[in-house]
Amino acid sequence: MIAVLSSVIPSSERVELIERLAKMTKTGGKLIVGDFLYSDLPVYKERYKQYSELEPHTFQTEDSAIIHHFSKNEIYNILNPYYEIQCFETKEAKSIHQRTLHSFMVVGIKK
Q: Is the pLDDT of residue 81 over 90?
A: yes
- Name which of 98, 78, 100, 99 is nearest 88 in CA terms: 78
Q: Are 104 and 93 in contact (CB under 8 A)?
A: no
pLDDT in tens, 14-72: 999 999 999 999 999 999 999 999 999 998 999 999 888 889 999 998 889 999 999 99
